[in-house]
Structure 1
Amino acid sequence: MTTTSTTSTLRVIQDHDRSLWRRLLLTREVAIIALLVLVVLVASTTVKGFAQPITVNYLLLDVAPILLIALPMALIMVTGEIDLSVGSMVGLSSVVTGVLTHAGAPFEVAALAALTVGVIGGAVNGFLVTVVGLPSLAVTIGTLALFRGLAVGLLGTTAVTDFPEQWTALAKAKIAGTTIPYITIPFLILLVIFVVLLHFTPFGRGIFAIGLSKDAARFSGINVERTKFILFVLAGIVSAFAGIFFTLRFGSARGDNATGLELQVIAAVVLGGVSVFGGRGQLHGVVAAVLLIGVLSSALRLANVTSDVINIITGGLLVASVVAASLLSWMQRLRAKAGPPTRFAVPSIS
């Protein structure tokens, strides 16, 4: 006769070992949203002029290019790649729009040409990364310099300012009866498209799978190269659209337009909860992070804080968010190593 002692082990799935409300509310994205609300409340009560409607208008106009480009950038970074050329593409599309308009082409034709340049630039990045197999960091550093060099080479140190008045007025116009600029409408349309694409389609699930493991995603039937190529093209065309808006908003096309914009976009995406290693990210966190940086910068400027100090505070916030995420991951690994609690069956005495 053989006596068998049974051991009951509680198996816990990491993603579902907490109640639903904790999984929904105790996240990095919700923390960024809560911090955004807190900063808005504090700035509204302590910074003179912050709560005025005109401040909201200028705030949205300032962050609009970052909001637009952050959408495709978030998807690219979820796959574990990066695109550092987006700021230079804004500048190049601005110059293309200005040069063609100055040459007598209708503005609509010039804008369409700029969008085409964005598609071509994104395709170049995607080809070098997915077909040639080069690292996206190295590729986009190179195209950052290439696109900026083309922009400066086309215009030199001059600027084009003769744009149709109806278009420049539209770029700064407000939706009737509100202080919200019209650029918010195309952003919201793009936001819905990218949210559906990332979170509610097989293509989006493939993006997360690529970020978690490129080889596993490929064995699962996901076309890794095609997915990345599409994302780089999307980044190029959205950056070109942002460049057209940038040009009309300021009424000027210059080769140095949007210099350094790519760093602001990447900072916002990382602050919004997208992992720098890929495989994780939510677009509502990214949008909240862009608005948080914009609100913080606007409030500090109104408080007469210099741009250097603003950069230091923004950089410190970004570093703190990355450190906090790493610390949380380290604690989760320690918890996983400790293992789930074990219950031992007590033999009954008969």
Structure 2
Amino acid sequence: MARDTLPENTSPENTSPENADPENASPKSAGPENSRPENAGAVLRSALTRWDTALLVVLAAVVVVAGLAVDGFATGRNAQFLLLDVVAIALIALPLTLIVITGEIDLSVASTLGLCSAVMGQLWVAGLPLELIVVLVVLLGAVLGAVNAVFVTRFALPSLAVTIGTLAAYRGLAFVVLGDQAVADFPADWTAAASSTVAGGGVPWAVVVALALAVVFGVVLHATPFGRSLYAMGNNAEAAAFAGIRVARAKSWLFVVSGAVSGLAGVYWTLRFASARADNAAGLELAVVAAVLLGGVSIFGGRGTLLGVLAGVLLLGAVRNALQLADVAADTLDVVTGGLLIASVVVPNAVTLGRARLRRGRRRPT
């Protein structure tokens, strides 16, 4: 099952199955043998073979198998813990999805989270109210994202190299700010709120906030001219610029938003675990990137959906949660995450290549 391949300067929502596949002609251009039911069948087949649809099927299968094979997986309490575990990944993955669609990447997100957590702890020790600290930490994240934006857009440096550098720099600054100590005396009502549920049910408030932000990012990406311009940048940045799209400006804002959301994730992480530490979320960038690519976003840009990314976040979280309950070692979990990351890149491209060869074989004259 392959991801949809987008033509240049288009987004998934603007690419119908008939336009994407030359073999699927529209009723007007096709002969009388192409009736409406057949067109409906083509649309249905296209929907069923989309990457995000396939990912939802795989997610359901993993949940069923884990529920039957792993003790404690199919419980409400474990489901709540699973959702709380993926909140930080989901938050950071939202802006990162938009960044990767433009053909860029931000690997400094976990270090931004860690630095924001360390600053949060230091400001609390200094006696500032938490309401003000939360605002300052989110603003700090935006500033850190702006630093990435300056290097990538103003100096035209590769985002991969820039964010690897800031990954190390921000984590180092976190240790400069807080050292090896931990701040853990946050108010109990704040730490409890990070894990509290809606009306005492099983859905955490943090998940509701993450879903609300997902709706906002989804609307921006899939239902606005700005979102369509991101796909155009990912397909061909030069052509997008010639078309009047302010590529540098758009990418700059994406990095700023990525930093701000990472700062917000730092607040959540600190309060959920009731501990501000410089090494908070170390290595989380691997899980975030894996979730985004597993969700169907092309590492080369120009392709992907937010629904697929959310499915990727849940699939990655479910697999890791099931393995943890099965007492699998933490190092093995990293191996699994890395394997899913590689598979998310290799499998769709291999299937796409196979389909392309099959189509060429069908078009050869007999």
TM-score where L is the length of structure 1: 0.91
- Tell whether the 8 Å contact from 1:96 to 1:113 is kept in structure 2 after alignment: no
1:51 deviation in Å? 1.1
User: Partner of 1:82 in structure 2?
Assistant: 105
Tell me how far apart the structure 2 counterparts of residues 120 and 257 of structure 1 sit (CA, whole Å).
Answer: 19
1:185 and 1:320 map into 2 onto residues whose CA distance is: 30
Identity of aligned residues (%): 49
What's the CA shift for 1:340? 4.3
Contact 1:81 1:137 in 2 (8 A): yes
Aligned equivalents of 2:245, 2:358: Cα separation in 1: 32
Structure with the bigger RCO (C-alpha within 8 Å, sep 6+) is 1
Which residue does the alignment assign to 1:163? 186
In the TM superposition, what is the alpha-carbon distance from 1:336 to its structure 2 partner? Answer: 5.9
Q: 1:142 aligns with which of 165, 170, 173?
A: 165
Instruction: List gaps (5 residues or longer) in structure 1.
Output: 1-11, 344-350
Specify whether residues 132 and 309 from structure 1 end up closer, same or farther in structure 2 by C-alpha distance, changes over 3 A only: same
Q: Which amino acid aligns with 2:299?
A: V
* Secondary structure in 2 matching 1:112: helix
Partner residue in 1 for 2:236: 213
Output one character per residue of 1:13-32: Cα deviation in whole Å (capped at 9) or x when no partner: 43464511122121111111
The structural deviation recorded for 1:308 is 2.3
Amino acid at match of 1:188: L
1:243 paired residue among 254, 266, 275: 266
Counterpart check, 1:199 vs 2:205: no
Rounded to whole Å, the distance in 1 between the matches of 2:264 and 2:22 is 41
Specify the code of the residue in structure 2 equivalent to 1:211.
Answer: G
**Number of positions where the alignment pairs a residue of Structure 1 with one of Structure 2:** 332
Aligned counterpart, 1:318 = 341
1:232-275 Cα shifts (integer Å, max 9, x gaps): 01100000000000000001101111101111100110111000
* Structure 1 residue 321, shift from structure 2 partner: 2.7
Equivalent residue letter for 2:75: Q
2:74 alignment counterpart = 51
CA positional deviation for 1:160: 0.8
Residue-by-residue CA offset, 1:8-58 (whole Å, 9 max, x unaligned): xxxx84346451112212111111111100000111112111111110111
The corresponding residue for 1:295 is: 318
Consecutive unaligned residues in structure 2, runs of 5 or more: 1-17, 25-41
Change (3 A) 1:79 1:33: same
Residues in 2 aligned to 1:270 and 1:111: alpha-carbon distance in whole angstroms:
30
Q: 2:15: which partner in 1?
A: none
* TM-score w.r.t. length of structure 2: 0.87
The CA deviation at 1:139 is: 0.8
**Matches of 1:252 and 1:112, distance apart in 2:** 18
Contact 1:128 1:139 in 2 (8 A): yes
> Cα RMSD between the aligned structures?
1.7
Paired AA for residue 128 in structure 1: F
- From the CA coordinates, give the structure whose radius of gyration is larger: 1
Task: Tell me the equivalent position of 2:290.
Answer: 267
With 328-337 and 66-75 compared, the bigger mean Cα shift is at: 328-337
Match of 1:96 in 2: 119
State the 1:126 CA deviation: 0.8
**Amino acid paired to 1:283:** L
Q: Distance in 1 between matches of 2:233 and 2:291?
A: 22
* Residue 309 (structure 2) aligned to one of 286, 295, 316: 286
